[in-house]
Amino acid sequence: MNNRPLGRTGIQVSEIVLGGWPIVDTANPAVNTADSLATVRACFDLGINMLDTAYMYGIDGASERLIARAIEGRREEMVIATKCGVHGVPDVSETFDARPATLRRECEESLRRLGTDRVELLYLHAPDKNTPIAESAGALKRLMDEGKTRAVGASNLNFSQLKEFASACPLTAFQPPYNMLMRQIEAEVLPWCRQHGVSVFAYWPLMKGLFSGTFRRDQVLAPDDCRNNYAMFVGEERRKNHDLVDRLQKIAESSGHTVIELVLNWTVNRPGITAVLCGARRPDQIRGCAAASGWCLTAEQLAQIDQALSDRGEADVRVP
């Protein structure tokens, strides 16, 4: 497993990070505590040393509580990132509240759930339209000054908000959506982050299973599946994306890798990307993601991927 610097903190983090939502996704009947604990614990053997969670993940902080159980006695081996400023259920009933008092309350509750006196990275989960970015950033800076986090990050900000946040608080990390089809941050955000020593942790590198190789053309999404709300999973856009994945599958097979390994390897090696967040609910799933690290795509393979993406054309990346 390759490691990379976390901003300018001196901390090294694995380029594959375990995302903490799928291990407590109550909407998925296949999720169970035994598998979830085993998934987190598998990270030790795989060289994955960073866990990414949030105050809002799971009922009553289930993700943070499960992580605490899974790493008990080995806390110092893990870099823990959590987020505050959003509560509710992802894609269903999110409430954005980035007021300073809320950020402090959620941070302190997260620390209790995690059984630790500090985390390595504390993110603003998302902006709150009723709270100035500078106020939220200032609140996180105070929490950092008090030793409750080693560093501060931000997620889901646009470029203007990101710069405003950084002017009010030292910024170590940024967490945006990014994958082969969602590449908007390449124009301004990634160059700015590289210039300012800000690590970028990409979420949705597999775009909710689109690039997993197991999402079938004939697969019917349940009415309550949140992917119905994403343009990538509907109509002609979905057909084009299946065509793209078929081509990526052939490139991966010719190189002796899975399509997941190929997509994650391509993503994490884009200029400015520090690591990719990978959701998993079983040990075999996180092992499959970890296999994306430690090797390089050839120039020929990269050219083939570029051609496949060019032929696919600009994607409709609208999200709810």
Please list the active-site residues: 57
Instruction: Give CA–CA dist 98/242, Å, rounded.
Output: 38
Check: CB of residue 225 under 8 Å from CB of residue 234: no
Least confident interval from 61-75, 211-225, 290-304: 211-225
Q: Are 313 and 243 in contact (CB under 8 A)?
A: no
The pTM for the full model equals 0.94
Predicted local confidence at residue 91, as pLDDT: 60
- List Cβ<8 Å contacts ≥24 apart for 307-314: 308/244, 308/247, 308/248, 308/251, 309/180, 309/181, 309/244, 311/247, 312/181, 312/240, 312/241, 312/243, 312/244, 313/240
Q: What is the average per-residue pLDDT within 254-264?
A: 95
179 pLDDT band (50/70/90 cuts)? very high
Domains of the chain in sequence order: 3-209+260-294 (3.20.20.100)
Is residue 29 over pLDDT 90?
A: no
What mean pLDDT comes out for the span 255-274?
A: 97
pLDDT in tens, 1-12: 999 999 999 999
Looking at the predicted structure, is the pLDDT value of residue 94 above 70?
no
Q: Is the pLDDT of residue 226 over 90?
A: no
How does the average pLDDT of the chain come out, rounded?
Answer: 95
**What per-residue confidence (pLDDT) applies to 92?**
57
